[in-house]
């Protein structure tokens, strides 16, 4: 007796394994999240995200040049807003000379070919740490959506290539698209966080931007009335279908590693590119386990990130982008 097929033949050595490999990461797959702060000469490490930093605009320049030289061609900008500029309506988000608007210009002036995507959501600007305006304990949908559309327009005016709404209000993609068209920003794209789950993996990001929901009476303690319930799968398809109909150029699943099934579902139904966001908590878990010596940092990083592409992701937003590209060399 002998086995009918010997699958191990194609695994004999690295040469044959690389010949039959189905999924290969390249620098083109990555979108690099960047955190920006006011000030000068600042590169500060985020405590819950070891080896990840917030940059002031002068040092952002340096970082962007380095990314470009490594073959990383797109960034996703987030800003940390000083407390005294926060309010319920996120008024500062529309300031044409705000930190985000200046950051967009800095990146575009430093490396014009770099694709600049911007986070469109109220939470970094909200005194309550929510992605929309709050009234009587409720995160209002329609007024928030209108502010987000104005915010997207403001980013487009500053030079953003893509706006990336991460808020999960209903109808905001359509409102944003219509406003951009009316104002002649016909080439500004929309990457929608379409299937964004109410996850416990966003903690370190909220540390990075000081954007966690505040603990006050009458303020919702979590984002479950707008971000999706992780028990659900069909809902992700419905959200994504609607965002595509409303004009999204790219759709996204977030977080990543515990939502591989969703990435595959979305890949199968979507006629636009699918992005995944490997979020801050995923980054922190790998860092923490590696620090303890319990997991091999580079090995687990590559395994998890490759899984996103295998599951169907066309674009991977990852805090590991630089580390991975170094290893791919
Ligand atoms: C805010 C936003 C969040 C993230 C991206 N945009 C946090 C949240 O929804 O509370 C999380 C990213 C990460 O954890 O890395 N709209």
Closest to 193 in 3D by CA, of 89, 119, 104, 101 = 119
For residue 5, being part of any structural domain is answered with no
What CATH number has the domain bearing residue 286? Answer: 3.20.20.70
Rg of the chain over Cα atoms, rounded to whole angstroms, equals: 20
**What pLDDT shows up at residue 329?**
84
For residue 4, being part of any structural domain is answered with no
**What pLDDT shows up at residue 125?**
98
For residue 8, being part of any structural domain is answered with no
Active site residue 105: no
Strand residue runs (E) in 138-296: 138-139, 162-165, 189-196, 250-254, 274-278
What percent of the chain is modeled with pLDDT above 90?
100
From the CA of 258, how far away is ligand 1's center (Å)?
A: 16
Contact 88, 127 (CB under 8 A): yes
For residue 158, being part of any structural domain is answered with yes
Active site residue 254: yes
Question: 254, 287, 309, 322: which one is catalytic?
Answer: 254
Ligand 1 atom closest to 203 (CA): 14
Q: In this prediction, does ipTM exceed 0.85? A: yes
pLDDT for residue 251 is more than 90: yes
For residue 248, being part of any structural domain is answered with yes
Residue 53, H or E segment: strand 49-56
Best residue for ligand 1 mutational test, from 202, 210, 275 (most atoms within 8 Å of Cβ) = 202
Which pair of structure tokens corresponds to residue 109? 């002036």
What percent of the chain is modeled with pLDDT above 70?
100
Residues at CB less than 6 angstroms from ligand 1: 119, 121, 123, 131, 166-167, 202, 205-206, 223, 279-280
For residue 324, being part of any structural domain is answered with yes
For residue 12, being part of any structural domain is answered with no
For residue 16, being part of any structural domain is answered with no
Q: Which domain, by its residues, includes 54?
A: 22-328
pTM score over 0.95 = yes
From the CA of 101, how far away is ligand 1's center (Å)?
A: 19
Contact 127, 109 (CB under 8 A): no
From the CA of 206, how far away is ligand 1's center (Å)?
A: 7
- Strands 43-46 and 250-254: what pairing? unpaired
Q: Per residue in 94-123, pLDDT tens?
A: 999 999 999 999 999 999 999 999 999 999
Q: How many domains does the chain have?
A: 1
């Amino acid at each position: 007796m002998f086995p009918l097929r010997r699958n191990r033949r194609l695994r004999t050595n690295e040469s044959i394994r690389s010949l039959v490999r189905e999924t290969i990461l390249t620098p083109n797959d990555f979108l690099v999240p960047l955190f920006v702060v006011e000030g000068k000469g600042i590169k500060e490490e985020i405590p819950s995200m070891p080896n990840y930093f917030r940059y002031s605009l002068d040092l952002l320049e340096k970082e962007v040049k380095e990314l470009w030289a490594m073959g990383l061609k797109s960034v996703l900008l987030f800003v940390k807003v000083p407390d005294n500029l926060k309010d319920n309506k996120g008024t500062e988000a529309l300031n044409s000379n705000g930190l985000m608007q200046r950051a967009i210009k800095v990146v575009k002036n430093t490396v014009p070919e770099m694709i600049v995507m911007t986070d469109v959501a109220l939470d970094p600007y909200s005194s309550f740490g929510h992605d929309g305006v709050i009234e009587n304990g409720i995160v209002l949908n329609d007024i928030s959506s209108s502010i987000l559309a104005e915010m997207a327009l403001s980013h487009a005016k500053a030079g953003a290539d893509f706006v990336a709404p991460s808020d999960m209000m209903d109808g905001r993609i359509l409102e944003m698209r219509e406003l951009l068209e009316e104002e002649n920003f016909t080439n500004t794209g929309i990457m929608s966080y379409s299937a964004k789950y109410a996850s416990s993996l966003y903690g370190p990001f909220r540390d990075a931007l000081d954007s966690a929901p505040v603990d006050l009476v009458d303020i919702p303690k979590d984002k479950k009335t707008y971000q999706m319930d992780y028990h659900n799968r069909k809902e992700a398809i419905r959200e994504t279908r609607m965002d595509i109909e409303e004009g999204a150029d790219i759709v996204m699943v977030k977080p990543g590693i515990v939502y591989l099934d969703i990435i595959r579902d979305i890949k199968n139904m979507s006629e636009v590119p699918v992005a995944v966001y490997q979020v801050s908590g995923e980054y922190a878990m790998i860092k923490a386990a590696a620090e303890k010596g319990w997991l091999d940092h580079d090995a687990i990083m590559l395994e998890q990130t490759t899984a996103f592409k295998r599951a169907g992701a066309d674009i991977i937003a990852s805090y590991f982008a630089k580390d991975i590209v170094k290893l791919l060399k």
